[in-house]
Every structure is written in C-alpha cells, then in structure tokens.
Structure 1
Amino acid sequence: MSLDPKPLQASQNSPSLAFIMDAFKSHSIAFDSPIFTLAAHPSEPLFTAGLLSGHVYTYTWPKEAPSADEDFEGDDALPSGYKVAWKTRRHKGSCRSVVYSGDGQLLYSAGTDSLIKCASTTTGQVTSKAVIPPTTSSPDGPTYLHALTPQHLLLGTDSGTVHLYDTRTALPVKPTTTWTSIHDDYISSITPLPPTSESTSNLPKQFLVTGDSTISVLDIRKGVLARSEDQENETLSSCVVAGGVGKGGRSTRAYVGMGDGVVHAFERGVWSDMCERIKIGSRGMDVDVLQEYALTGDNELHKGKCIVVGCSDGRARVVRLGGNKVVRVFDHDGEDGDGQEEGISGIAFDCDGAMMTAGGSVVKIWYMEDAGGDVDDSEADDSSNDESEQDSDDSDEPDQPPAKAKGRTLESDSEDSDGDAGSKSSQRRRKRRKNKHQATGPRKPQFNGLD
C-alpha cells in the first residue's frame, strides 16, 4: 500500500546562502575526456578518476598543507600540490566504475571491454583480472562496483544482474555467486545497509540495489528479500544514513535519487514504498549521485545529518535532513562552464575531509577557506593530459607522470566507447542505458594474461 507522502520542497531561499558559500573555495583538475567514475582512498591522500576514454588516473597530494609561499609553477604543476601518482589506459572503451578495497591496498576497475581489473593502489600495476560473464545473447557491460568486505566484491551490470567475487587471493575466473534479473534494466547503484546489532562480523550483508523504476534489498546469504513498488521514474542513485533521521532521530533511512528531480526516502524494513519525497529541482533534472555529506569544517553538520545531491544541471546541493532544506549549493560548472550543462557524475570525500565533485571533464576539490589555509585558488591545466605515443590500447603498465604538458587530446575507442555522437546530456545518461549507449555492442573480451 502506498503511503502517499506529502511532497516536501527543499527550499533554497536562504538569505545568507550567498554569503556562506563565499567561505568555500575549489581547485580544478581538467581532463581531455569526460569522467564516468570517481573514488577516494579510505585513508591515504589518493583519488582515482575513470574516464570515457578508458583511462584511469590516480592523483596524490601532500599530507601536510603546503606553505603559502611554496612554488608550484613548474611545467607539471597542479593546484595545491596535487600530482599524478600514475595513469594508464586501463580499458578498451569506457571505464565505467572504480572502487578501492576496504583496506585501500587494491583498486578495482570495470570497463565496457567486459573486464574487471585489480591493480596495486600505489603503483597501478595490474595483479589480476576477470571476464564479466555474458548474457545469453551478448557480452554484459558493468555499471557499478562495490567493495563488499576485505574479501569480496559486488558488480552490477547492464542486464540487471549482480555478481559476487571472492577476492581473497585474486580475481577468480568466475563469480562465486550470481543473482540474475534483480532489475529489468541496468543496476544504477549498490549501497550497503549497516550491520545490525546481532552481527558478529560487523560487516554488511544486506544491500540496497537500484535499477529501472524500483529498489531491491539483496542479502548475500539469502538472495533478494524485498522489492519496492514501481516508483514511476528511474531510480538512479542511492545512499543510506544510519541514525539521526526520522522520528526521534533513531531511524536508518535509504535515500534514492530519481530521474525527475526528486529524492525518495525509504524507512529501513519498510521497503514497499517511500516514506518521504524530497523535491530537489525541476522535473527534467536527474539526481545522478547521492552521498552522505561530510565536508570537514562545515558548521552545517552540527545542525543535523545532511546528504549531498549531485544533479544533471551541474550543481551539488546539500540537503539537511529532517527539515529537508537545501543549505548549500556547489556550482560545479561555475564561471568556467561553456554554457552547456555538465551533470555531476561523481562525488567523493577524501581522507582530509575535502569534497570532490566530477562533472564533464573536470574534478573540483572543495574546501573551507579557513580550514584549508591560505592556498592559491587559481585553476591549473592538468599536465597529465599528455598521452604519449607509447600509451598502448590496453596497457596495464601505468605511465609515469609526464614531464611537460603538450596538450594532446585523448582518443576514445570508437567501437567500445560510451561517447558516441549526441548531446552532452545524452552522453552522460548513455553510460547507464542498457545496450542503448554504445555505437556498437562490446567486442568479445580478450583475456591474454596480464597484458
């Protein structure tokens, strides 16, 4: 039975919002290819971006903030001491998803070449890889990776399937367990539900899985436990907030981003339909990314739990839960935009508590001016955009950071890439569309050792 909740408008009419936002600054790192996926290391100063071109870049920065007079004017300079730790063309076609292992020692990536690759976080060297099982008629493309535990990995696909891999030694040739047709369309997100008080391992075993116009709850021991009613629009993203919400502030709620500018809230244990509907923007706007908000130094966090909502209009909105009020708006496009909206494709929080947003071909690192110190706010061109002639089609040997930027353009694989002709908004959505976003279907994966 539908609860038919009253829509709650997330108000943006805060008189002091413009003044408050003056305290937030950002640095930009530009790429020559759109960014599909973004991940931050759980404990070290590293973040990784996976690109439409199949390239994977990992950046690092000093653990201690650079002094105000430190020189960053070299040919390979990046803002605030950021530098390329390693880069490589990891996948033929697009890199759809990247994720760090729980201990941060390994980085997993999945691409439209129907391969999952496991690499060393520090060197980028591939240690193992596996072919994603095909459907009955064609290869199956990946859509979402989640590091389940220190020993397991979950993968969602275009066909609505979820695979479980045992990673205690290396990526196995075949997944340990497969759940088919969890959804009728692609898996758009996989989010862990916090372990209950009865858990002996203190590791999650139940997961919220979104796809088509419903949500499902997957228990890796028992299979699908529940599925919601049709939400009448695409379910595109999700996050779970434990405690601090709902009546008495004791509830755990799942928040699901929809394709009509709305976030649906679900009470844990009551999965049939939403308990709350938070209107974020206009009907034509997608809520592509959801995260619990955790930007270090933001006083808004003292007032209650918040989520950050990445939207197709290029803005990340922070919503304080309870009152469901928009209290921050981070304009990713800003004054640097070219007049065409670039939706938010990824949000992550680094180990220092800075928020990173990815959209179009730019990653922005946001920080509080007081918390971040006196740092130059100018944007620097990403010197790593140089792709040498030696950058192979499917190299698992990471390239060393280039000595000098030459401004070349990355070339995406025309047969495998998600970036076929169309508007920027259609390219952004194409990465999530089952068998509709590729100029041709993915080729049969080639798996010859660790090439």
Structure 2
Amino acid sequence: MMAAPTAEGVVTVSHGQAADADSRDGDEHISDEDQTEKLAEEEEDKEEKEPKIRETPEDILFESGVNTVAFHPTREILAAGDLDGDIYVYEYSCIEGGNKELWSSGHHLKSCREVAFSHDGQKLFSISKDKSIHLMDVEQGKLVSKIAKAHSSSLNSLLLIDENLFATGDDNGMLKVWDLRKGTSFMEMKQHEDYISDITIDPQKKILLTTSGDGTMGVFNIKRRRFELSSEFQNGDLTSVAIMKRGKKVACGSSEGMIYLFNWDEFGATSDRFAVRAESVDSILPITDSILCAASIDGIIRAINLFPNRVIGSIGQHVGEPIEQITKSFNGQFLASCAHDKKVKFWDISSLSDIVVKEYRNRKRKGGNLKSLSKKAVSGQDDFFSDLLEDPVGKKTPHEEKEDTEDDSDSD
C-alpha cells in the first residue's frame, strides 16, 4: 500500500512500511553491537599477540650436559659446548619464545671442554677432550681451520689473548701459547703435575696465570717466553682464577670451597683466604673490581665482595646440579650458567655494581638475612642462606688492613 497525504499535508505510512523501517533500525542496532564485540575481540587478540617481555631470556635446554658457555663480544649471541662434542650457537632475547638456534656443529669427536668468541666476534674457538682445537665461522657455522693433535693429552682450558695469540692447557699440566699467523705454538711448558683448570692474563698481555689440579698457581711471562714461579701448594685443586682490585689482587677458587687471594707480584704465598662454605668453588668471574661471582658444585651462584671479604648473596641456582661454568654478557646485564641439568640459564646482574658493601655489613650486624640478588634466585630460606655466611681464615697484616680500608673507599 502506498503512503498518502492527509488533509494537513502530513504523509502517513502504512503498517507494512512501518514494520520495514523498524526492521531496518533493528538491523542497524544489532550491527553496532556486533561491531563493538568484534572490536573487543580484536583488542584481546592484539594483546595476546603482543610479545611478553621477560626480565631475562628463557632457559635453553640441551640434549646432553653442557660443559661450557660463552657470550658474543658485541651481539646477543651465545655459544655452548656439550659432553657429546656438539657446539650450539643461539640468538637470545628477553621476548618470550625469542631464543633461536642459529646453527650447531658436531665436528668434535669427544666432549667439548671450552668455547670462546674471537675479540672481533667473527670466529668461534673450541677445544675438546679429543685433543683438537677448532675455529669456526660465527655467521655460517662452518669449520675454518683446526689443529687435530694440538696436545698429547686432552685439552681442558682456553684463553684468547688478543686477535693473534691464544693459550691452551691440558689434562697433564702442559701449557701452550699459539700464534694464529704461524699456525703453531711458540711456547710450550709443563710446570704443573695435574690438569690446568683455568687461565687468565694481565691487561698488559704480559703475565699469564694458570690454576691446576695440583693445588698451585703458575706464573708465566709470555713476552720473555719463560716460566716465573709456582705458588705454594693449597689444599685441594685450584679450579679457577681472576684478577681483581685493578690488578692488585688475584683470586683463585678451589675444590675445598675456599677463595685464595694473592697480592700481585707476590705469587709465592697467599695474602688471605676465606671459606665460602660451598663444597667446591668451580668457576669464578669478575663483575667489578671488587665483586666476583662464584659458581659451585652445590648448584648455587654466589656474589662475593673482596676486601672486605663477604658473601653478599645468591644470584641464582641450578637446584641440586653442579655448575660447570659462568660467563658475563658483553653489556654486563646478564650472567649465563651451564650445569649438569642440561640447561643454560640467564641471570640479571645489572644491579650488582650498585651494591654498597658497608650497608650490607651494617645489616648483618643487626641480624638481617642475606637476600637474593635477582628475582629468580631462591630467597627467604634460612637453611639455604645458612651456608652463605663468610668464614674468614687467617689474619691480615697491618699493611693489608690499611690497603683494604683504602680499597673500601673506592667506588666500583
């Protein structure tokens, strides 16, 4: 029926037309509600798709136990070597699910003992129980060169000195220093009676220090290509070495849970020592001139201040699993650890340099508990922290006490 004008000139609408109009209005109303719901769903999907940012990268799980781990010098890349002789290179990220394997290599016939990136980050060095040294291209993962029988015994330790020189130590106490330009070693010395566990060198690239399972620290002058001296024997194996306090001190970890300290140029005898109350301190790593991290067979990573000697607290842990090695990222934000649980874990150490040891000592006098130093570390457990108390051994000379007081005033 068509609409017709009335006497007043007003157009009237038939019943059918009114119903059609109501229907169109309803359709428009429903459409608006659907649109609102659709926008809400899209917003939820968008939130779900936005990456979640973590404090640290996620753990990386491997098929075999990991012996060694190393950070790239300029990029967010990490390398790991395992018991099967395989090497893995990962890109790591704080974005959830962001870790990505770049490549892997199975060139070694036996356990990979240590990996290290070259100073320019273009090559990856690795040593193995199979006595070989491998150099690989970081970008493509291809083997660039190798020394098949580098030592007569299994290799155990590696130190890159500069872009041309590097040092290796084996299970029989042999130290070799190599020149990449010649492809041969120019210094070979066997001054240890047991395996060489760790190697470090001073900033001038002159004095090289080694620790050994025979309980001594070796001192070598690579400029003059000669052996200088060995320290006195310590109880148990010396497992790791680090230069601290702006080159004034040398710290050594031991299988007895001790930290042994030497004055620079007085390497014959220790100047101080203290017990960490861990069964064994297997890997130590300088964080600042005064603070180092120590990884132990009990699975705990402790932050330790030197002079005054204090265990500050826990960085993290591989629960109940011995830790093989710890390393620090190029920007100082993360510490990575590998252990018998087949995992590489990441810990935030960015706040360690801000710790003031004097405040910590005051808090201890008041009976305060040691706290965890990262969100992922165990905290609030008295039985856990009971073994984190410092246990000094030996007495300092007045000269050492004066030096310690001066060092305490330094801001690291």
Using CA pairs under 8 Å that are at least 6 residues apart, name the structure with larger relative contact order, 1 or 2. 1
Equivalent in the alignment of 1:178: 188
Q: TM-score, length-normalised on structure 1?
A: 0.62
Q: 1:25 to 1:166 in 2, by over 3 A?
A: closer
8 A contact 2:121–2:138 mirrored in 1? yes
8 A contact 1:25–1:368 mirrored in 2? no
Q: 1:370 to 1:189 in 2, by over 3 A?
A: closer
| 1:271 Cα deviation from its structure 2 partner | 0.6
Unaligned 5+ residue runs, structure 2?
Answer: 1-53, 353-374, 377-412
| 1:146 Cα deviation from its structure 2 partner | 0.7
8 A contact 1:36–1:95 mirrored in 2? yes
Matches within 5 A, 1:129-140: 129-134=146-151, 139-140=152-153
| 1:131 Cα deviation from its structure 2 partner | 2.4
Equivalent in the alignment of 1:213: 215
One of 296, 304, 311 as aligned partner of 1:311 = 296
Q: Please give the per-residue CA displacement for 1:294-342, whole angstroms capped at 9, x wherever unaligned.
A: 6xxxxxxxxx7201011000001001121211112133224xxxxxx31
8 A contact 1:237–1:257 mirrored in 2? yes
Equivalent in the alignment of 1:267: 263
| 1:167 Cα deviation from its structure 2 partner | 1.1
Matches within 5 A, 1:245-260: 252-260=248-256
Match of 2:58, SS state, is strand
How many angstroms apart in 2 are the aligned matches of 1:370 and 1:238?
23
How many angstroms apart in 2 are the aligned matches of 1:164 and 1:260?
29
Equivalent in the alignment of 2:372: none
How many angstroms apart in 1 are the aligned matches of 2:88 and 2:261?
34
Equivalent in the alignment of 2:202: 193
Matches within 5 A, 1:25-64: 27-61=58-92
Match of 2:242, SS state, is strand
How many angstroms apart in 2 are the aligned matches of 1:129 and 1:257?
31
How many angstroms apart in 1 are the aligned matches of 2:171 and 2:128?
12
Q: 1:370 to 1:101 in 2, by over 3 A?
A: closer
How many angstroms apart in 2 are the aligned matches of 1:176 and 1:222?
8
| 1:26 Cα deviation from its structure 2 partner | 6.5
Alignment partner of 1:346 is 2:342: no
How many angstroms apart in 2 are the aligned matches of 1:111 and 1:219?
26
Matches within 5 A, 1:366-377: 366-367=347-348
How many angstroms apart in 2 are the aligned matches of 1:61 and 1:32?
18
Match of 1:346, SS state, is strand
Residue type of the partner of 1:152? L
How many angstroms apart in 2 are the aligned matches of 1:370 and 1:82?
24
Q: Please give the per-residue CA displacement for 1:152-200, whole angstroms capped at 9, x wherever unaligned.
A: 111101111111221137xx2x423211x220011111011222xxxxx
Residue type of the partner of 1:240? I
How many angstroms apart in 2 are the aligned matches of 1:41 and 1:234?
30
How many angstroms apart in 2 are the aligned matches of 1:178 and 1:370?
42
Q: 1:280 to 1:42 in 2, by over 3 A?
A: same
How many angstroms apart in 1 are the aligned matches of 2:154 and 2:191?
15
8 A contact 1:24–1:368 mirrored in 2? no
Matches within 5 A, 1:219-238: 219-220=221-222, 221-238=224-241
Alignment partner of 1:290 is 2:284: yes
Q: 1:286 to 1:24 in 2, by over 3 A?
A: farther
How many angstroms apart in 2 are the aligned matches of 1:308 and 1:219?
27
| 1:369 Cα deviation from its structure 2 partner | 9.7
Matches within 5 A, 1:274-423: 274-282=270-278, 285-293=279-287, 305-334=290-319, 341-352=320-331, 353-360=333-340, 361-367=342-348
How many angstroms apart in 2 are the aligned matches of 1:183 and 1:370?
38
- Percent identity over the alignment is 26
Q: 1:331 to 1:34 in 2, by over 3 A?
A: same
CA RMSD of aligned residues (A): 2.4
8 A contact 2:316–2:347 mirrored in 1? no
Alignment partner of 1:152 is 2:183: no
Equivalent in the alignment of 1:199: none
Q: TM-score, length-normalised on structure 2?
A: 0.68
Q: 1:261 to 1:115 in 2, by over 3 A?
A: same
Q: Please give the per-residue CA displacement for 1:137-157, whole angstroms capped at 9, x wherever unaligned.
A: xx4110001111111111101
Match of 1:175, SS state, is strand
Residue type of the partner of 1:228? S
Q: Report which of the two has the higher share of helix.
A: 2
How many angstroms apart in 2 are the aligned matches of 1:229 and 1:88?
41
Residue type of the partner of 1:55? D
Residue type of the partner of 1:274? T
